[in-house]
Amino acid sequence: MKKSVFLGVVAATTMVAGAASAQATLEAVKARGELICGSNTGLTGFGAPDASGNWTGFDVDLCRALAAAIFGDATKVRFVPTTGETRFTALQSGEVDVLIRNSTWTYSRDTELALDFVAVNYYDGQGFMVKSDLGVSSAKELDGATVCIQTGTTTELNLADFFKQNNISYQPVTVADDSEAQRQYLAGACDAYTTDASGLAASRATMPDAANHIILPEIISKEPLGPVVRHGDNNWGDIVRWTYYALLIAEEKGITKANVEEVATSTADEEVKRLLGLSGDMGVKIGLDNAAFKNAIAAVGNYGEVFAANIGEGTAINLARGLNALWTQGGLQYAPPLR
């Protein structure tokens, strides 16, 4: 009896706190004068502070775009590093306004954790890396192989599923984190290393003998990564979602960081006019300036530019666009019409 009363109080407190903080994330952010963005404790290419403490990365740029859309100033954002364990609670308790931290959109996270994944800014999937002298060209030939795998991740479950479905066996070598995995793999403790394909590419890029390692063609899972907000504040979700879509539309329309001002003065395209705040009062409809999306694009560039600057071909990580190409180029990145 007492326990249930206590739990009831906890639940009520949580809901009151949740509801109060959900009502007006935008107002709270504006009153605070800065956006608090939940980020990674350090993931190559996606989000990490550099030697002088400036955060850079693919996810980080989306945070900056959001800050630019809200304040017209991409520097008004504070990054709070969250670990895999603390990230969702930090968001639920209101410690961060939005979580942009390579988190996979899954059913239980969307429903049970009462979170909203508002978009997918990176389509990832789990892959395998092996040494080329192993003579394997497909993951299905990995029968009996030892596989390095990080514990406590969804990748562990995906791995078990994949091998079971293909009726082959494997020997897991569990490791704590990416650097440990890389060391074990290079030392020959395992034949294959499996994690998200983007992570494999980053690891491979920094190996002393990158040419001797190949990433197998099979992608065995869907890992849609995207920004997350709390349930219950739909306007705030809209702001995050459409700031992201604005970057996509900008790429589709060929608007870049460099030419955004010029396009704004010369364009005849009605959707571009709405995007850049010249007609339609689009920004005001979600509680921002009409120039919000223009500011976001001017701050970080369009989606393609963000991709190319942080993780794309030409950077050390050298990821191909693949699934993350625009829908017009055979990818999955597709923004609904802005009207």
Partner 1 sequence: MDKHFARTEMLPPLAPPVTERGVVKWLRENLFSGPFNTILTLVALVVIYKLVSAALPWWLNSVWTAESLSQCREIVAATAGEGASGACWAMIRERWHQFIFGFYPPDLWWRPVLAFGLLIAALGPVLYSGQKRSLTILLGIVAAYLVVTLSLTGAPTGAFVAAAVVVVALFAAVQVAPGRMLLFTAIYPALCFWLLWGGSIWTPVVAMLGFVVMGVVYMALVGRFGPTASAIAGVVAAVLWWLFLDIPITQALADMIGGGLRSVESDEFGGFLLAITIGVTAISFSLPIGILLALGRQSDMLIVKTLCVGFIEFIRGVPLITLLFTASLLLQYFLPPGTNFDIILRVIILVTLFAAAYLAEVIRGGLAALPRGQYEAADALGLDYWRAQRLIILPQALKISIPAIVSTFIGLFKDTTLVAFVGLMDPLKGVTQIVRADINWKGIYWEPYIFVGAIFFVICFGMSRYSMYLERKLKTDHR
Q: Can you give the binding site for partner 1, defined by CB under 8 A?
A: 10, 13-14, 17, 20-21, 28, 40-45, 47-53, 78, 80-83, 85-86, 89-90, 93-95, 177-179, 182-183, 202-203, 205-208, 315-317
Contacts of 247 (CB under 8 A, 6+ apart): 62, 65, 296, 297, 300, 301, 302, 303, 306
Residue nearer to partner 1 on the CB measure, 75 or 328: 75
Q: How far is CA 6 from CA 9, 33, 92, in A?
A: 5, 37, 20
Contact by Cβ (8 Å): 143, 158: no
Least CB distance to partner 1 at residue 255 (A): 28
Could you give the CA distance from residue 151 to residue 170 in angstroms, rounded to a whole number? 15
Residue nearer to partner 1 on the CB measure, 94 or 280: 94
Residue nearer to partner 1 on the CB measure, 199 or 277: 199
Residue nearer to partner 1 on the CB measure, 15 or 332: 15
Contact by Cβ (8 Å): 187, 144: no
Least CB distance to partner 1 at residue 296 (A): 24
Contacts of 321 (CB under 8 A, 6+ apart): 304, 307, 312, 329, 331
DSSP string, 112-132: TT-EEE---SEEE-EEEEEEG
Residue nearer to partner 1 on the CB measure, 205 or 338: 205
Least CB distance to partner 1 at residue 37 (A): 12
Least CB distance to partner 1 at residue 177 (A): 8
Least CB distance to partner 1 at residue 243 (A): 24
Could you give the CA distance from residue 277 to residue 210 in angstroms, rounded to a whole number? 47
Going by the DSSP 8-state scheme, the letter that residue 171 receives in this structure is E
Least CB distance to partner 1 at residue 7 (A): 13
Residue nearer to partner 1 on the CB measure, 47 or 277: 47
Nearest to 303 by CA among 237, 257, 240: 257
Least CB distance to partner 1 at residue 28 (A): 7
Spell 139-160 as b/e; 16+ CB within 10 A means b: beebeebbbbbbeeeebeebbe
